[in-house]
């Protein structure tokens, strides 16, 4: 895992899709590190799928951290959110009304991927834990398998964020067979990773 720190290249060492496990105390720092590298430094268009935090909260946080939102599109599936469709205050956020309809989320990701003509594009899923909170393990695993195949079909890269949680070891083990597993502990000295 330490090779991540010494390679001045990329988070994507062995695969184009990474399952990134982090502790709760480092979660926002890890997200910031990834976004600054992929969006600000590498100028990669990014699709950010969130079911944890509403767009408005993420927008304020990312602007405070000086993350360039012009290359980002948000797909927001927040529980209890009543508005669906494009956010009226911005053209880069699609609200889906909740995490329960995985078909809508899949379609939104596919449409967003096809709308970006640039080859180097990235999908971030925030987070596996949140999806597992709203759906059965079997259903979420099938959904993640489908999303991983869509990301690959479009030649994109992907980051699936997950919190350290012993309850989800089986899910992480299953997904690790389909993508590169990285512990955020290896990103502890992130400045080396950013090069």
Q: What is the DSSP string of 96-157?
A: -S-SS-HHHHHHHHHHHHHH--SS--EEEEE-HHHHHHHS-HHHHHHHHHHHHHHHHHTT-E
Order of strands across the sheet that contains 46-50: 85-86, 93-95, 72-76, 46-50, 122-126, 157-163, 17-22, 180-183
DSSP per-residue letters across 11-45: S-SS-SEEEEEE-GGGHHHHHHHHHIIIIIIT---
Greater model confidence, 139 or 79: 139
Q: What is the pLDDT of residue 16?
A: 85
The dihedral sign for the CA sequence 78, 174, 39, 153: negative
**SS3 at position 88:** coil
Please write the tens of the pLDDT for every residue from 165-181: 777 888 988 998 888 88
Show the tokens assigned to 109. Answer: 């990701």
Domain count along the chain: 1
Mean pLDDT of the chain: 84
Joined tokens for residue 112: 């967003």
Higher pLDDT, 116 or 182: 116
Q: What are phi and psi of 8, to 5 degrees?
A: -85, 30
Give the total residue count for the chain: 195
User: Which of 159 and 119 is assigned the larger pLDDT?
Assistant: 159
Q: Which domain holds residue 140?
A: 3-194
Judged against a pLDDT cut of 90, whether residue 73 lies above it is answered with yes
CA distance 47 to 25: 24
What CATH number did the domain enclosing 39 receive? 3.40.50.300
> Is the pLDDT score of 161 beyond 70?
yes
DSSP single-letter state for residue 9: S
- Predicted confidence (pLDDT) at residue 80 exceeds the cutoff of 60: yes
Q: In the structure, what pLDDT confidence band is assigned to residue 193 with cuts at 50, 70 and 90?
A: very low
Question: Do the strands 85-86 and 93-95 form a parallel or antiparallel pair, or are they unpaired?
Answer: antiparallel
Decide which of 71 and 13 is more confident: 71
Is residue 5's pLDDT more than 50?
no
């Amino acid at each position: 895992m330490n090779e991540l720190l010494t390679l001045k290249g990329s988070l994507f060492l062995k695969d184009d899709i990474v399952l990134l496990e982090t502790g709760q105390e480092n979660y926002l720092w890890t997200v910031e590190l990834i976004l600054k590298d992929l969006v600000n430094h590498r100028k990669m268009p990014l699709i950010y799928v969130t079911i944890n935090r509403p767009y408005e909260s993420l927008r304020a946080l990312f602007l405070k951290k000086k993350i360039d939102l012009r290359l980002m599109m948000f797909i927001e599936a927040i529980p209890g959110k009543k508005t669906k469709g494009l956010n009226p205050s911005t053209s880069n956020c699609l609200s889906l009304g909740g995490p329960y309809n995985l078909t809508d989320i899949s379609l939104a990701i596919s449409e967003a991927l096809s709308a970006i003509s640039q080859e180097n594009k990235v999908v971030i899923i925030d987070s596996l834990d949140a999806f597992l909170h709203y759906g059965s393990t079997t259903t979420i695993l099938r959904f993640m398998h489908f999303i991983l195949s869509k990301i690959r079909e479009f030649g994109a890269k992907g980051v699936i964020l997950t919190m350290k949680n012993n309850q989800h070891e089986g899910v992480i083990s299953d997904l690790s067979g389909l993508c590169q597993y990285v512990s955020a502990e290896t990103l502890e000295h992130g400045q080396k990773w950013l090069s």
